[in-house]
Every structure is written in structure tokens, then in C-alpha cells.
Structure 1
Amino acid sequence: MNLHEYQAKAMLARHGVAVPPSKLLSDVSQGSEADELPESADDRWVVKAQVHSGARGKAGGVILARGAEEVAAAARKLLGSRLVTQQTGPAGLPVEHVLVEPGADIRKEFYIALALDRTLQRVVLIASSQGGMDIEAVAEQTPESIRRVVVNPTVGLQAYQARQVAFALGLESGQVRDLVRMLLQAYQAFIASDASLIEINPLAEVADGTLTVLDAKVSLDDNAGYRQQALWAGRDVNQEDEAEREAIEHGLNYVSLDGDIACMVNGAGLAMATMDLIKHAGGMPANFLDVGGGTSAAKVTEAFKLILRNPRVEAILVNIFGGIVRCDLIAEGIIEAAREVSLEVPTVVRLAGTNAELGRQMLSESGLNLTAEDDLAKAAEAAVALAKQHRGAAK
């Protein structure tokens, strides 16, 4: 689960990390008067759209305002809109809150993150002296400017490791002390909150030489939601893909993609292999969908409903290995689901495992728009061919 910037900063502040004073606005009529805004020495504020996406500044989601009237105007412009960034896709994300903070005279921007490296099975501290909106370009063009420190989970992040990072960033003595304290506090927040990512970008050096957290992003481990109920109470479902959210409710693992061949598979590894074969055959997968090992007719029906909500889908490839559950039962579920949703999109079903031949026979005799296959590569090729035919017929 992702947190909004204002939630991420509040979480860090609870663990001692100093964050700028701010005001959260959901309604321009309340809280945008000068005496209600956070104190600003030069009457400048920054109004930031609260959406689960980076690159907000480039998309017009961060507005510099001089005076309370400009703050109110900026809030009116953003609230109720949909912000389209490089990360959201063309539909964008709804802006229901804006965060107002005093402007800062930035001398230098740094990048700081704590991330879970699943390959190393360790938390990794990542830092760069080149923070800001183009951090992705920094990682690609000058990877040598990025410092990585692997944290031993037994002892946690150590002060000497934090000092090494501060020295690598070229900080002065007072700033070194402040950054060490901040990193140790952020690590404690990471562990206590079951986070998978805490990103501070930029961490800014301002005119008086102090370090300020200008933006923060936090992602929490979904598997730990049961013990982080206070944080999960702030979940903003309006920022999440509707289909992915409904999939979770039905015990399905679903991720929307940009292609036009939908996939329905039992098993995450098999799903990845299925998508690879679709691409190898010249197609593009429309989704990742794992219905689980012990799937049922009800799950298959919900999976078809999710798939068919995507208007780009031109064909469906169902790939089921019948180990835990028999293929004839899966075939029966597919037939029931296809009838319930009035399936018209051409669908290729590859069955392998227990009673696979009987399952394929049931599909062939169903009278529905279902093509049974026993070879996965041939099934992928058939799905790509049927998608092209369906696309051509639609034109």
C-alpha cells in the first residue's frame, strides 16, 4: 500500500524526523486564509497535489504561490482535477487533497531511500548527491553517483554506516550529525511500519544550511497490513486501479498491462512464462492474472469479469495446470463462467495435468467460442492470431 506525501511525512515525524510545517486542504473554502497557513518568512508557499505518483512537478501538480490568494487559486485549480503524470497513464489520478508548505530557498538537492532488496533479503540504504525530479536519469546516466549500503537485519542500520553516507554526499560537520540522526530515525520508521520503501526526494539543503525533507514517499508491505491497522486506515482506494482492488477482494492476483491479449493462469511463475510466450509469438499481454492453485468456478467467473472490463482485450489465453485441482473441473468452471458473462472474445484454453484430455473434450463440445490446446507455445500463437482476427473484424 502506498501512502500520500502528507501521510508519509506524518509517519516519519512520529519517529522524530523533522519535516516542514504544512496544511492539508480538501476544501478551498476552509484553511486557505493567510492566518491559517503554515508560517512563511517571505509569503511564499508550495501547493502540492496529493496523488500516488511521482513526477508531479513536471505534470503541473506542484504550484508555487505568493500570498494566500494565489494559494487558494492553486488549490482550486488542483482539487477535483485528475493529474496525468509519466507514471499514471492517460487516465490520471484524482486530486482530492493538496498539501501547502512554506517555500524553501534550495541550495542543493539530495536523494535518500530505504528499500527492501528481495534478492539480498536485506534493507538497503540508497543515497545520491543528485536528487530531485530527474533521479531516474541519474540512475541511468551516472550510476556511480549513487551510494548503496546493505543493512544487517540483526543489528540494524549503524551510525557509522549513516556517517559514511553523509561523507559521501559531501556534507559539512553539522549536516553530517543531522543526517545521521535522520537516517537512524527513518530506519526505525521503516522497521516499525513494515515498509518496503521510504524515499525522501529531495532532501534539500536550504539557505541556512539545514537539511529539509521536501518530499517523501512510503510504500508498506501488504502482507503486514493486519498489524499496521492504524496506517491502513488511511488507505486511499481512489488512487488504486479499480480492477486490481476488486481482484484482491476475490482472492485474485491481478495487474493491468498495456497489451490486448488477456491472461488467466494458476500460478505466478506460470503466469510470467505465459506472458513471455505471448510476447515471443508477437503479441502483448493485457494483464497478469493468477487465480491460484486451488481455483474454483466462482474465481474463474470473477476473473473473466475482470478481464472483460478492459476494452483493449481482443483475445484471452487461459493456461491451467491441473495439479491441485482436476482439469475437467476447471473446464466445467470455464464453461459456466463463459456462459454467465456471455463471452464473445475468442478464448484459447490450454489444459495440462490431471484429466486434461477430458477437460479439452468438454471445451470443444461446449459450443462456445473456446479453442482447446495442450501445447502452451501453440496456445500462445493461437491467441495472438485470434487477437489479430478479432481486431480486424472490429474495424
Structure 2
Amino acid sequence: MNLHEYQAKALFERYRIPIPSGQVAMTTAAAVDAARTLGGDTWVVKAQVHAGGRGKAGGIRRCKGVDEVAAAAEALLGGRLTTHQSVASGLPVSQLLVESATPIARELYLAALVDRTVGRIALMASAAGGMDIETVAAATPERLLVTHVEPVIGLMPWQARRIGFWLGLDKAQVAELGPLLAGVVELLVAVDASLVEINPLVITADGHLLALDAKVNLDDNALYRHPDLGEQRDPTQEDPRELAAAAHQLNYIALNGDIGCMVNGAGLAMATLDLVKLQGGAPANFLDVGGGTSAERVAEAFKLILSDGNVRAVLVNIFGGIVRCDLIAEGILAAAREVALDVPLVVRLEGTRAAEGLALLADSGLALETATSLGDAAARAVAAARR
């Protein structure tokens, strides 16, 4: 689960990470009031969306005078912002963060994340702040320092000093960096975050450190421990199909292809997607209906796949262990009765009550193909999508 910048900065304040003065606004009038309350004559108006690259897309605007604040708010609120990280149609802008403008001397990058390969927290730092860190890591990896923190012990003072001096900070700034880094690590652990990122972390004109931006990604599996954070979820920033899937306890991720896939089990789903790609096709989604599914849930999954206008063929690949293949067939038939099936359907059923499931489908009158193996099913689905 992602948080908006203003929500992440509220957490930053709680963990003693310095941030600019700012206020959230949902209307143009509120944005102007926020600027006047903050004082000064220059502010930054930021669209609150779950995507990076807002500045390049016009979602972050520096405004001199309240008239420019009003114009920026009017232009952004109620619209959609498209960045290189968003969907093509963009994300809706319903909230703005108005902040006092910060005189900047340098921009740095700082992030903490869970490194599962070593079972530790990875602190990443770079002097290339304000840039896409993926580009920095790929093109100039020597500009990225990775420091591993043992979660039981926590951040050691020498690690903070090493990062500070590597970034070229002076002695006073290194002293500021220690508590800031400790706060980032403490925050990551306390809220079960998978990522805490500051890009950029700036050195202000008067030599102090300030988190100019904030990004916090939470582990969905731990939200039961943080109901207050779970309530901050913004469904308008998420794919409505993924939200519908979650409501029916389905694991669904939208992709960019044209072959809809319904599979049981994450491993089998990944193998199915790989074989579709191997056959020259492109999956439209990852969809795991789970091991203990029901006919009703399968029907919802099937309708979810067909709601994607890009789907030109559907591949159902079920291995019946816990789940019964005849229940899968009943779910497909229930969905077909509610939603017009106007794309080719390829079905592979193996395992528990597979013969009964295939018999139900054969007697249904649906125009479908059955496959004898996973490779055969993938090849048939790719061929069907190309007709």
C-alpha cells in the first residue's frame, strides 16, 4: 500500500525527520489559505498522486504570489496527472500539498528498504538526488552507496558517519544526518514499511538537511497491525480491477498484454505467464484464484478478466489439488451466463475431478478449446489471440 507525500511526511514528523512547512488543500480556496497561513511570498504546489516524476509532468509548481497558487490549484485539482510511472490515462488529482519554498544548495538521495537477500535493512545513499535512482544505479553504480543495518542492533553511529562523509557533508551536517537516518530506520521497522524514500534530501542554503519529498510504501500483509494507516488508503489511486479482486480475495495484477489468465497458485500462475511469453504472447494479467476457491469466486475472477477491453483470448489453467476442477468449471459457466463471452477460451484442467469439470464445459455449448498440457494451452491461447 502506498501513502501520499503528505501522509508520509506526517510519519516523518513523528520520527524526527525534518520536513518543510506545508498544508494539505482540496480546493483552490484552501490552497490560497494554506499559502497565506504559511507566510512568505513563494510556495510550491504539489499534486498528490501515487507516482513519481510529478515535476517533469507539471504536477509540482513553484508559485510566487497567491494568484499563482490559485492558478496552479485550479489547473491541477480535478484533473489527471500522467507521469512515466502512472497508467497512460493518468491518476486523479484530488489533493494538493502547499509548502513554503526551500532555498536549495544541494540535492541528495536517501532510502531504506528491506533487502530480503541478506535479511537486513538496506540504506541507500547517493549524491545524485532528484534523479531516477534506477538510472543512477544502472549507469553509474559507483554513485550509490548501500549500507546494511542489522534490525536487531539498529543503525550504528559509525555507519551514519560513513554515509555522511561519503556524501561529502561537513561535520555539522554529518551530525544532523545521524538522527535523521536513525529516524528513517526506526520508521521503516515501526510501520512495517517495505520502502522509505527521500528524493531529494536537500541541503538548504543555510546548510541544514531537509526531506523535500517523502515516499512510504507499506507491506499489505502487515496492515492488520496498523489499522490507522490502513484507513489512509486512497482507492482512487489504484486500478479498480485490483480493488474488485481484493474484495473477492483474489490476487490480481493488471498487465499490458491481450491474453487473460486465470490460474490457481502463484507459482503455477508465474509459470503460465512465462510460457505465454515463450510462445510469443503477452499476458493481460496475473490472476491467482487461490487453493480453496469457490464457484462464486471463480465467476468473479472470470468477469474481472473479461472487463479488460484489451483481452483477445482467455487461458484457464487449473491444477486441482485442494481446489476441485468441477467447481472451476461451474464458476466459468456462471460467469459466461452473466457476461457475453466473445473472445476465444482455452481451458486446461488437471487433478481433482478434472474429468467432471471438462465434461461440464463440453456439455455447456460454450465455444472453447481444451488443452492437454501447459505448453499446449499456452500455444493455443497465443494462436487464438492472433486470429
TM-score by length of 1: 0.95
Distance in 2 separating the partners of 1:151 and 1:18? 22
Residue identity in the other structure for 2:61: I
Cα distance change, pair 319–69 in 1 and its aligned pair in 2 (3 A): same
**2:234 is matched with which residue?**
236
Q: Map of 1:221-232 to 2, 5 A cutoff?
A: 221-232=219-230
Say if 2:27 is the partner of 1:27: yes
8 Å CA contact 1:266–1:292 kept in 2: the answer is: yes
Residue identity in the other structure for 2:32: S
Say if 2:154 is the partner of 1:156: yes
SS of structure 2 residue aligned to 1:203: strand
Q: Map of 1:1-395 to 2, 5 A cutoff?
A: 1-33=1-33, 36-40=36-40, 43-389=41-387
Report deviation, 1:230: 1.3
Residue identity in the other structure for 1:322: G
What is the RMSD of the two structures over their aligned residues, measured on CA atoms? Answer: 1.4
SS of structure 1 residue aligned to 2:323: coil
Distance in 1 separating the partners of 2:35 and 2:329? 67
Unpaired segments ≥5 residues, structure 2: none
1:175-212 CA-partner distances (Å, limit 9, x unpaired): 00101110101111111111111000000112111111
**1:393 is matched with which residue?**
none
Cα distance change, pair 295–174 in 1 and its aligned pair in 2 (3 A): same
Give the total of aligned pairs.
387
8 Å CA contact 1:364–1:371 kept in 2: the answer is: no
8 Å CA contact 1:345–1:369 kept in 2: the answer is: no
Report deviation, 1:365: 2.9
Report deviation, 1:87: 0.9
Distance in 1 separating the partners of 2:161 and 2:378? 53
SS of structure 2 residue aligned to 1:2: coil
Distance in 1 separating the partners of 2:15 and 2:77? 30
Residue identity in the other structure for 1:26: M
Distance in 2 separating the partners of 1:3 and 1:384? 38
Residue identity in the other structure for 1:21: S
SS of structure 1 residue aligned to 2:112: strand
Distance in 2 separating the partners of 1:359 and 1:304? 16
1:229-265 CA-partner distances (Å, limit 9, x unpaired): 1112211111111110111110000000000001000
Residue identity in the other structure for 1:256: A
Distance in 1 separating the partners of 2:169 and 2:30? 41
1:96-152 CA-partner distances (Å, limit 9, x unpaired): 111111222222111100111233332211111111033332111101111111111
SS of structure 1 residue aligned to 2:316: strand
Distance in 1 separating the partners of 2:10 and 2:71? 26
8 Å CA contact 1:364–1:372 kept in 2: the answer is: no
Distance in 2 separating the partners of 1:233 and 1:145? 38
Cα distance change, pair 31–325 in 1 and its aligned pair in 2 (3 A): closer
Distance in 2 separating the partners of 1:48 and 1:35? 12
SS of structure 1 residue aligned to 2:260: strand
Distance in 1 separating the partners of 2:160 and 2:224? 31
8 Å CA contact 1:34–1:67 kept in 2: the answer is: no
8 Å CA contact 2:31–2:70 kept in 1: the answer is: no
Unpaired segments ≥5 residues, structure 1: 390-395
8 Å CA contact 2:54–2:83 kept in 1: the answer is: yes
8 Å CA contact 2:35–2:43 kept in 1: the answer is: no
Distance in 2 separating the partners of 1:132 and 1:167? 20
The alignment-based identity, stated in percent, is: 56
Residue identity in the other structure for 1:382: R
Report deviation, 1:35: 6.6
Distance in 1 separating the partners of 2:221 and 2:235? 17
Residue identity in the other structure for 1:3: L
Residue identity in the other structure for 1:127: A
Cα distance change, pair 109–357 in 1 and its aligned pair in 2 (3 A): same
Distance in 2 separating the partners of 1:6 and 1:192? 18
Report deviation, 1:289: 0.3
